[in-house]
Structure 1
Amino acid sequence: MGLHTLRLATVPMTLSTFSSRLSLKPFSNTLVALGLFSHHVQPRKHFLVRAFSTSAAVQDIPATQASDSSAGKPQWKAAIDFKWIRDNKEAVEVNIKNRNSNANLEAVLELYENMVNLQKEVEGLREERNNVAKKMKGKLEPSERERLVEEGKNLKESLVTLEEDLVKLRDELQHVAQSIPNMTHPDVPVGGEDSSAIRKEVGSPREFTFPIKDHLQLGKDLDLIDFDSASEVSGSKFFYLKNEAVLLEMALLNWTLSEVMKKGFTPLTTPEIVRSSIVEKCGFQPRGDNTQVYSIEGTDQCLIGTAEIPVGGIHMDSILLETALPLKYIAFSHCFRTEAGAAGAATKGLYRVHQFSKAEMFIICRPEESESFHDELIQIEEDLFTSLGLHFKTLDMATADLGAPAYRKFDIEAWMPGLGKFGEISSASNCTDYQSRRLGIRYRPSEPLQTGPKKGKTSLPATKFVHTLNATACAIPRMMVCLLENYQQEDGSVVIPEPLRPFMGGIELIKPKLR
């Protein structure tokens, strides 16, 4: 099924179901979580609860138009520069082709031309209507006044019709144009993933003198990870962390936060459910056959796949002072991804899962600073992974692997001995003004007040769109893959890298458990 949803059920409750403590009660084939409800609640009251089946108890709530991406009227409007697109048609066309985008540039240009022409027609009718109104202010013969009244009435009716057509045309233009991807940095390699260029390589693969294990076997032998129980409870691609693995996750997060905060980043935790419009504004598709987003059925909400989404929304529809920039955040969240279409050896174990913890960096800055901040984000990532002793390479990702928001993206792939190849552990993207034009994030330059044409009149400098950047500081599951596989010892133990030991309560070694 293409659309991944979390069902919500409205289940009738009676007084007998209430308890002063958390309890689990079956209702038909639906597992319902109840608890902490007052005994004074009237019987037969309906409560909204989570349901984990498609039983008859679940009432399908029709999705509203606001949550239907196929609706003609867009939920939101991006500040797209259509004139720039028209004037740079060839460059935009090449960019769409290089990125393997399905955006329909010809349709956008045709709709824009129609909109411009219709706008001129509307303005012409408005001018005629105003002229008629001016004529009626003078002294007129009754017959002339009657003629002008009739003319004004006809103009008004025509104008109403054209204005309605103009609104529909603008909505259609916006809907079609939102699929156009960001432009691309001129130095980005053209082609698919295989065309990506190595920017930097650090370290070398560790040479083992004993047969190595992958992280699944290590996790089982050291009693660190339980996939079997999680698959029974939640389904495939879920897991329990146990024992030292829990401490290792906390250590990775706390160490990462402490290191990144030294660079002037503000720590955040974020909501993990957001409106689908925010997901779309950040450049992700919440619906479709291959969506990576879990949508909550019957609502306009989704589970986040990255903290980039809620952090991007913090300053939505706002005008920032230039003196407040840059804004630098390091956000912790749980992330949820459907992993639709994923297959192969690289999807086993912790490498590709539906739920995981991640620390994400996010920067809002002036346009002229975004490339230097992109370099800063990459340097932070490389410093973190070097400190952990990983062998990795930084890749300048090719055009077809960028995704719609990214102007340029660098991925870091680390060596995973159990996998026998490099695996992606982070990415850093400069999205320029792609997201800010959709989220409505601007700043006002710190310039002197401008004197207008009228004497003594001053005006504020015009606002500009900010640039946004994001980068992975630490994606827990894949980092665990790297650490377990690269730091395994012949006796089956795993060494904890030195930077993490203070955050592990001094634990230096994960040893096999005595049975």
Structure 2
Amino acid sequence: MALRTISSALVRTKTRRSVKIYYVTQRRYLSSALFMTGDQAKNNYAFLSPVLDFDTKFQNISQLERNVQLRGIPVNVHSLKRMWDFQEGIRMTRNKIDQRRSEITKSIKELQKSDDQVARSEVEKLMLLSQKLRHEYKVVTAALWDIEGKVVPKCLSIPNVLHDRTPDSVEEEIYRFMESTGRVQELSHIDIGSSIGVLKCIGPLCCYLKNEAVEFERKSIKFFVDRLKDENFVQFSNPDFVKSIVVEGNGLDHEDPFSTFILEADSSDVSEKNSPNRLHLVGGSSLGPFCSYFSKQIGTHPLPIKLFAHGRQYKPSPIQTKGSLLNSCQASAVQLFVGLPNCVATENAFIDRVLAFLISAYQEFGFHFRVIYQPAEKLASWESLKASFQMYSSHLQSYVEVGNVSVCGEYISKRLLMYYQVPDSSSVDFFRIVTGTVISVPEVLACVLEDPRNVVDGKLILPSNIKS
């Protein structure tokens, strides 16, 4: 019997410390975990400094404006550019002061080689000027840190560039296998599963799989794992937890309790509670742990790096009044992660190959499905393109995503400093990343239960291709 449960109760770790898993909580509105100003770095360790290539992003302001409009993001890019330019103007002022201080220090050293009165008098003047510039440098630096703390986090929310294949507003279907029954299923998958003894829902956050549903979960995962291994993907073992810096590096809001489950030590230590870099429960079969491994590293392995992990995915879902396998808080899933050289043509060619491979695998899996390119408004900020694998819910009369392939280019690798060694060169470059959930079992099982072709004489019938 497989358990699906998320609780807001205290959980004991191996070190006997208590942690709280927050499902709904208030935001703290703290600063960025990914970027820290100089004064913040005095109290918190800065693991890395992301590449802030916003000068490049703001070069084509009309393209950026179109990007955020298509995504439906309420960002005034012109105002953001003005703030960035103002910040960089202050940085330039500070750099000029620092350069002037260096020139004065050099002049003082030269004058101190002479013992005449004029030289000593000039040294005194320059020393006074140096002290004045030192004070100005401190004042300008404090002002710069204050502005950076407001401007950079806003700039970090700028989304990834859109891929040429991403539709503007309407989804684009690129493949369909078989057809749905077309009949309306009055009962939900929970009702059907409970009646045939394969599901037991206790509440919106707790659901048990039983009997044939457990076998379906186990064999479905094995089916796709075997196909990935046939394609020379290497299995990876990931932790279930990541730090806030990785969550934000992935383009998510690390303070949003509806983005990830946030863990906090059961401690009265105020500094720990106010730490900008907390633990998040995301599951080993998700993007975050892969990024944790490769962040701040220079990869020396031949590209592409093709990895996968299977296990759990954890993600808060909107509060439900009734239990459901759709949008469940945790799922058994398979996640792939691919690191590619920084070449758009290579990336596009790999997208075609991985889509062809997954379409073939889903065909062999044996259920009706379709593949669509999601429009810009349905993409996460880190995604430039998303191919969604969907099955039909006869109860909801709509398609449900059961897997996906997402393209994010250099967006994440620049934020988390994920490099690779360029072959036959001493230089390094940023990975281009393709990732995705190959299968999320709860959504698949929900659609399978609602299709009357899969439930015969009160029993869930497993496809012949996954029985072995």
TM-score by structure 1 length?
Answer: 0.76
Give the 3 Å change call, closer, same or farther, for CA 212–177 of structure 1 in structure 2.
Answer: closer
Cα pair 1:371 1:430 within 8 Å, conserved = no
CA distance in 2, matches of 1:67, 1:112: 16
The root-mean-square deviation of aligned C-alpha atoms, in Å, is 3.3
Which whole-Å CA distance do the structure 1 matches of 2:353 and 2:331 have between them? Answer: 25
Q: CA deviation at 1:286?
A: 3.2
User: In the alignment, which residue of structure 2 is the partner of 1:406?
Assistant: 383
Instruction: Tell me the distance in 2 between the aligned counterparts of 1:370 and 1:83.
Output: 25
- Give 1:353 deviation, angstroms: 1.4
Quick check: 1:224 aligned with 2:190?
no
Shift of 1:52: 8.8
Percent identity, aligned pairs only? 18
More divergent stretch after superposition (297-306 vs 406-415):
297-306
1:259 and 2:227 aligned: yes
Q: Secondary structure at the match of 1:199?
A: strand
Alpha-carbon distance, 1:447 to partner: 3.4
Match of 1:430 among 400, 407, 425: 407
Q: What is the letter of the counterpart of residue 395 of structure 1?
A: I
Q: CA deviation at 1:434?
A: 0.9
Equivalent residue runs for 1:342-421 within 5 Å:
349-368=324-343, 369-421=346-398
1:81-138, Cα deviation, whole Å (9 max, x unpaired):
1221221111111111111113342343123222332233223223322332233222
Of 227, 237, 248, 2:205 maps to: 237
Residues 498/256 of structure 1: CA separation in 2 closer, same or farther (3 Å cut): same
Does the 8 Å contact 2:35/2:153 carry over to 1? no
**Against the structure 1 CA distance between its residues 226 and 379, is the aligned structure 2 distance closer, same or farther, given a 3 Å change threshold?**
same
Distance 1:67-1:149 versus aligned 2 partners, 3 A rule: closer
* TM-score after normalising by structure 2: 0.83
Please say if 1:117 is aligned against 2:89. Answer: yes
Say whether the 8 Å CA contact 1:237–1:352 is kept in structure 2: no
Q: 1:104/1:248 Cα in 2 relative to 1: closer, same or farther (>3 Å)? A: same
Contact 1:96/1:181 (8 A) holds in 2: yes
- Structure 2 distance, partners of 1:167, 1:213, is 58
Give the 5 Å matches for 1:279-290: 279-288=247-256
Task: Output the CA distance in 2 between the equivalents of 1:51 and 1:180.
Answer: 31
Quote the offset at 1:335 in angstroms: 1.7
In our comparison, the structure showing a higher alpha carbon Rg is: 1
C-alpha displacement of 1:65: 5.9
Partner of 1:501: 467
SS at match of 2:409: coil
1-structure distance, mates of 2:329, 2:337: 23
| Of 189, 199, 209, the match for 2:174 | 199
2:18 matched to 1:49?
A: yes
Contiguous gaps of at least 5 residues in structure 1 = 9-31, 38-46, 55-59, 449-459, 503-515
Does the Cα contact within 8 Å between 1:316 and 1:439 map onto a contact in 2? Answer: yes
Asked if 1:479 corresponds to 2:444, the answer is yes
Match for residue 333 of structure 1 among 292, 311, 329: 311
Q: Distance in 2 between matches of 1:221 and 1:447?
A: 63
Partners of 1:287 and 1:133 in 2: how far apart? 45
Please show how residues 31-110 of structure 1 align to structure 2 within 5 Å: 48-49=17-18, 77-110=49-82
What residue number does 1:324 align with? 302
Shift of the 413–238 alpha-carbon distance from structure 1 to 2, 3 Å rule, reads same
Determine which of 269, 276, 280 is the counterpart of 1:302. 280
Q: 1:352–1:135: structure 2 CA closer, same or farther, 3 Å change rule?
A: closer
Counterpart-to-counterpart distance in 1, 2:397 and 2:69: 34
Deviation digits for residues 120-160 of structure 1 (CA, Å, limit 9, x no counterpart): 32232233223322332222523222212211211222122
State whether residues 67 and 276 of structure 1, in contact with CA within 8 Å, keep that contact through their aligned partners in structure 2: no
